[in-house]
């Protein structure tokens, strides 16, 4: 059986890994330059930023097994157990940046980046995934893990009717400011991270104190309200506004460089109660954090169980 997985984030790569282990011929395509999706890591000289997901927690036993494997191999370490208060739940981070975990899972998977799917069509033998600037892909099964608005566009000519509760899913965007400083700010608490600190930001984290960057590198995430209100502004305007808002948190350090990154589909506003959704023929499956919850653990479990459904 041949399967095409669209999206090389956590859900897509986990699904592809499971199907590959099951004996399927699996190809993963992603329009990005490398696997990771919203588990994104960026370098700026010696600075390393997690500018998507900042950490992950574990509640499920299956995901705990994966986390324990990463920890045993030195790929993951515990950051803290709460920011403003200690709640007992470890916040884990990837030592080499969050996207390194997706790359680790993708080692034995055929992942093709910088490849954009345009739409999915039914074919006599199964499915045809139309691809821009590359050969189309014929397959028996398809797993789609892209954000729902992009998934809706892919399925427009497929003949597949997705439940309206899924098709209408909306997302909050996030605008991120990445700042390299000459020292770690003392304003970010004992662990170097704060959640919902003011009316602009939802999270601020010092990647050096997380153990990810060799030099101070601070990620600022604007909250959903601010990001939604200003998302269509120019990158230059967003940069200047967020840098001005960050001043109180960088009062005792010097900014060496800064840049803006934008996530249009950062966090789903509503979640489908099951880990995946399949068509009646069990040949096309939707997965991702809409189906498992807007966390890394949710995306992992969604990919795992979507693969099991198709296998």
On whether both 278 and 258 belong to a single domain, the answer is: no
The pLDDT of 206-229, averaged and rounded, is 98
On whether both 217 and 282 belong to a single domain, the answer is: no
The 10 Å Cβ neighbour count of residue 273 is 6
On whether both 290 and 303 belong to a single domain, the answer is: yes
The pLDDT of 208-212, averaged and rounded, is 97
**pLDDT given for residue 265 in this prediction:** 97
- Residue 145's closest CA among 31, 254, 281, 240? 31
User: The tokens 């892209």 sit on which residue?
Assistant: 146
Tokens of 145: 């893990």
Would the pLDDT of 85 be above 90?
Answer: no
Q: Would you say residue 92 lies in a domain?
A: no
On whether both 29 and 111 belong to a single domain, the answer is: yes
On whether both 132 and 21 belong to a single domain, the answer is: yes
On whether both 193 and 262 belong to a single domain, the answer is: yes
On whether both 21 and 137 belong to a single domain, the answer is: yes
On whether both 160 and 193 belong to a single domain, the answer is: no
Q: Would you say residue 190 lies in a domain?
A: yes
Q: Would you say residue 68 lies in a domain?
A: no
Biggest alpha carbon–alpha carbon distance for the chain: 65
Residues 6+ apart with CB under 8 A from 34: 8, 99, 103, 113
DSSP H or E stretch at residue 17? helix 10-21
On whether both 230 and 293 belong to a single domain, the answer is: no
Q: Would you say residue 51 lies in a domain?
A: no
**pLDDT given for residue 171 in this prediction:** 97
Q: For residues 249 and 145, what is the distance between their CA atoms, to the nearest angstrom?
A: 36
The fraction of the chain above a pLDDT of 70, given in percent, is 100
The pLDDT of 35-62, averaged and rounded, is 96
Would the pLDDT of 88 be above 90?
Answer: no
Q: Would you say residue 18 lies in a domain?
A: yes
Range of the domain at 222: 171-268
Q: Rounded to 5 degrees, what angle do the CA atoms 269, 271, 277 make?
A: 135
**pLDDT given for residue 59 in this prediction:** 94
Q: For residues 231 and 52, what is the distance between their CA atoms, to the nearest angstrom?
A: 16
**Residue 240's domain is classified under what CATH number?**
3.90.660.10
Q: Are 157 and 127 in contact (CB under 8 A)?
A: no
Q: Would you say residue 183 lies in a domain?
A: yes
Q: Would you say residue 125 lies in a domain?
A: yes
On whether both 131 and 14 belong to a single domain, the answer is: yes
**Residue 145's domain is classified under what CATH number?**
3.50.50.60
Would the pLDDT of 292 be above 90?
Answer: no
On whether both 248 and 179 belong to a single domain, the answer is: yes
On whether both 108 and 36 belong to a single domain, the answer is: yes
- Residue 127's closest CA among 135, 109, 136? 136
Q: Would you say residue 131 lies in a domain?
A: yes
Number of structural domains (the chain) is 2
Tokens of 64: 């705990």
129 pLDDT tier (thresholds 50, 70, 90): very high
């Amino acid at each position: 059986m041949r399967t095409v997985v669209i999206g090389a984030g956590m859900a897509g790569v986990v699904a592809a890994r499971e199907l590959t282990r099951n004996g399927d011929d699996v190809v993963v395509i992603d329009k990005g330059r490398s696997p990771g999706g919203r588990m994104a890591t960026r370098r700026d000289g010696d600075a390393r930023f997690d500018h998507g997901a900042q950490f992950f927690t574990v509640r499920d036993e299956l995901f705990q097994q994966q986390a324990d494997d990463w920890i045993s191999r030195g790929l993951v370490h515990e950051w803290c157990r709460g920011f403003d208060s200690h709640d007992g739940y470890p916040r884990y981070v990837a030592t080499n940046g969050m996207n390194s975990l997706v790359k680790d899972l993708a080692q034995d998977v055929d992942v093709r980046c910088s490849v954009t799917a345009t739409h999915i069509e039914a074919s006599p033998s199964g499915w045809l995934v139309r691809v821009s600037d590359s050969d189309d892909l014929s397959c028996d099964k398809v797993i789609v893990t892209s954000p729902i608005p992009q998934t809706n566009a892919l399925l427009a000519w497929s003949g597949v009717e997705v439940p309206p509760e899924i098709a209408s899913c909306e997302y909050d965007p996030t605008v991120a400011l990445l700042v390299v400083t000459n020292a770690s700010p003392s304003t970010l608490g004992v662990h170097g991270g704060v959640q919902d600190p003011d009316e602009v930001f939802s999270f601020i984290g010092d990647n050096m104190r997380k153990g990810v960057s060799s030099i101070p590198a601070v990620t600022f995430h604007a909250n959903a309200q601010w990001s939604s209100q200003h998302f269509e502004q120019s990158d230059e305007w967003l940069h200047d506004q967020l840098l001005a808002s960050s001043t109180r948190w960088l009062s005792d350090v010097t900014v060496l460089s800064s840049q803006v990154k934008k996530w249009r589909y950062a966090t789903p506003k509503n979640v489908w109660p099951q880990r995946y959704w399949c068509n009646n023929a069990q040949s096309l499956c939707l997965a991702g954090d809409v189906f498992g919850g807007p966390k890394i653990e949710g995306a992992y479990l969604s990919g795992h169980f979507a693969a099991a459904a198709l296998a």
